[in-house]
Structure 1
Amino acid sequence: MRPFHSLARRIAPSARRFIQRLDKNYQPVQYCSQLTKPRLISTSSDRPSQPHGIPQTRLDSKSHPLGWQTIQAQVEPYFAKNWKFSSEKAKQGFLAVGFSQAFSQFFPLTLNERVEGTCKMHYLALLIDDQLEKMSLSDMLSYRERVIRIAHGEESPDRDICIEWMLSDTLQFIRNTDEILANDFIKGFCTLLRAQTAEERLTVAHLGPYLTAREVDVGRTFYAALIRYGAKLHLSSAELAQTTALESYAFRFMGVLNDIYSWDREWKVYQEDPTDGTRPFSAVYILAQETGLSFEACKRLLYSYCRELELLLKQSGEEIKRQNGDTLRPDMAKYIKGLEYLMSGIEQWSQWTPRYK
């Protein structure tokens, strides 16, 4: 399972069988087996040490100066009190995953006064994703459209349904804080919902198209807008156009890294019920099918690919700076750094979160 669920795994459970059966006796490598929980507070110049066998990262990392415990205290009681979890075990399981630590590492440039609203939206995107995943295809698509209309303010929420009123209230708070950046934020959220419930993903069979689709699937427009809203970064259309390639590198990295760390669990889930008609929506699986290599080998190749994406992000950032006379506006420079922090944060969180155990 990924931190951002792939709903297409359940969109059409009777759509197709695997063309070929993979070796069920194969035991993929456990990248996370020897990892320890990293330090949660670091400076922008710190680079996390890499566990044995994983290529050294080029990225800087940073945690939010408030500290994840403070962020947790601001946000998690709201969800513990108001969200209708299916059971007490489900509630405790969600709270134990470490989303407040994730937020601190993903979005360290978020202004203190914007932490609560931004972090609530981060949680809601994940909870809504979980909720939709449990629905049938017809119910999922119908309710997805209702959630989108509520997000745009086109329909009023049902105050008896926690998804609806919590989403509506949080987005209204964000609009009241910064309407311009909130509009980009809401558009990105709706794009994420549509991408994660798109039936077309079931037809993706090759790595190139998969990587393109995965950029959107992991929330490129949503999380890019979240970085800008949280840090109050107003970029011009020209500046946004210049950062398009950087966003592509960042969110391909995000998607592939999630695939690497979620694979062992995802493959186990498939092996327990291999006849449900779905196939893993994962770069690890697709690369294995295209090359004939083991899952272990594909993970190593994909980790090297992530490191190349880091290099491309760094090189492209320097090229943008040169194109602008070796000087960038502070908002532009912070946004590029924010993409880097998101990438490094994703990797650190992936290494210790119990969500992949």
Structure 2
Amino acid sequence: MRYLYSEEVQRNLYDTHGLGHNIPLRMHKDFLKEIRGTFRAQDDWSKSVNPVDGYKGGLGRPYSFMGVTVPECLPERLEIISYANEYAFLYDDELETLDLKNYSGEFTGILETFSDDSFDQKVSSKSRPEKRLLAQIYSEMGDIDHIRAETTMKAWTKFVQSAARARTVPFNTLREYIPARVIDAGQLIWFGTLTFGLALTISEEEHDVCHKLAEPGYAAMALVNDLYSWDKERVMAEKAGQDYVFNAIWVIMAETSVSEADAKEICRAEIQKLILQYSQVMDDVQTDTSLSRDLRRYLEAVRLSYIGNLVWSIYCPRYRDF
């Protein structure tokens, strides 16, 4: 991949806790667009849904989420994907206040936002405020790139529906949990974010192989999220009255009867195994001319997202100050 919009961060300026696998961290040059999109999303959510006082989202010092996870985003698309991602963080925090244990499969309440017609811009004053904001996101993305905006919104809808179902039942083993966590961590929504942000086209014929090749990378990202968000998610689950936490640390402790500290070490070892697998995937695809150029660029973008997500997770206020 040619790097046009990002710069590599000096290795001595950040820690990876031994999970970086020598992947270089890159940061978008135009961080102001991310700040503008993020604050605009928070402001719109405060006005339309709920006040966000004390809320911690994607911004952080010295690393903010979108700038290091989509470092090669086209500059004119960075503000809107930052807005959309902040909306996703806000929406996810709302979901964490719900006890989905008794979820019936019907998309009511806040879940109605992502019903099958969620990317339909035909909303009214009677529509849920979250749905109206979602239509605004789709409209802004569509003004830039209608085709990829539709791909993104369809992927987002499928993601939320699948994630809501995945959170309803505790998992007994890490082997069972990881595939569900890959869905919940947003493989589908991130597919939309990367393809829109980098203006990539993955043909229908390549979708299955694309998701299959990227799976270890997304699994590693999901477990990184679990490792660093554990304290926050445990507190949120307790507030929601849940007797379990949809998190790998909880699954490992329940499955193996180990301490929290030992569960974190097991999680770290699993992350290292998965990112090693993904590095092998990346080595293999470099010379595989049967794969399209955009698919190979997408897989490299996932790799950059992994290291960006890791470093952001280590330093971000969202997981440290809640």
Structure number with the bigger relative contact order (C-alpha 8 A, sep ≥ 6) is 1
User: How do 1:21-100 and structure 2 match up within 5 A?
Assistant: 42-43=7-8, 49-50=14-15, 54-67=18-31, 69-77=32-40, 79-80=42-43, 83-84=46-47, 86-87=50-51, 90-94=52-56, 98=60
Q: TM-score, normalised by structure 1?
A: 0.75
1:107 aligns with 2:70: yes
Give the alignment partner of residue 128 of structure 1, picking from 91, 94, 117.
91
1:173 shift after superposition = 2.1
User: How do 1:241-320 and structure 2 match up within 5 A?
Assistant: 241-267=208-234, 276-320=241-285
Aligned to 1:220: 187
1:223 shift after superposition = 0.6
Change (3 A) 1:121 1:312: same
For 1:296, the aligned partner's letter is A
Instruction: Indicate conservation of the 8 Å contact 1:195/1:216, yes or no.
Output: yes
1:210 shift after superposition = 0.4
Change (3 A) 1:162 1:202: same
Q: TM-score, normalised by structure 2?
A: 0.82
Change (3 A) 1:286 1:77: closer
Change (3 A) 1:108 1:121: same
Instruction: Indicate conservation of the 8 Å contact 2:28/2:68, yes or no.
Output: yes
1:263 shift after superposition = 1.9
Instruction: Indicate conservation of the 8 Å contact 2:171/2:251, yes or no.
Output: no
Aligned to 2:302: 339
Change (3 A) 1:159 1:113: farther
- Taking the aligned partners of 2:242 and 2:80, their CA distance within structure 1 comes to 39
For 2:186, the aligned partner's letter is G
How many positions carry a matched residue from both structures? 309
Aligned to 2:3: none
1:154 shift after superposition = 7.0
Q: Which runs of no fewer than 5 residues in structure 1 stay unpaired?
A: 1-40
> RMSD of aligned C-alpha atoms?
3.2
Change (3 A) 1:291 1:101: same
Instruction: Indicate conservation of the 8 Å contact 1:249/1:313, yes or no.
Output: yes
Change (3 A) 1:261 1:96: closer
- Taking the aligned partners of 1:257 and 1:96, their CA distance within structure 2 comes to 16
Change (3 A) 1:161 1:288: closer
Instruction: Indicate conservation of the 8 Å contact 2:182/2:219, yes or no.
Output: yes
- Taking the aligned partners of 2:149 and 2:133, their CA distance within structure 1 comes to 16
Residues 248-288 of structure 1: per-residue CA shift (max 9 Å, x gap):
11221121111111223444566x679x3521222112112
Structure with bigger gyration radius: 1
Change (3 A) 1:66 1:173: same
- Taking the aligned partners of 1:273 and 1:95, their CA distance within structure 2 comes to 19
Identity %: 19
Instruction: Indicate conservation of the 8 Å contact 2:21/2:276, yes or no.
Output: no
Give the alignment partner of residue 190 of structure 1, picking from 128, 137, 157.
157
- Taking the aligned partners of 2:124 and 2:190, their CA distance within structure 1 comes to 24
For 1:310, the aligned partner's letter is I
| Range 72-81 or range 339-348, more displaced | 72-81
- Taking the aligned partners of 2:141 and 2:187, their CA distance within structure 1 comes to 19
For 1:333, the aligned partner's letter is R
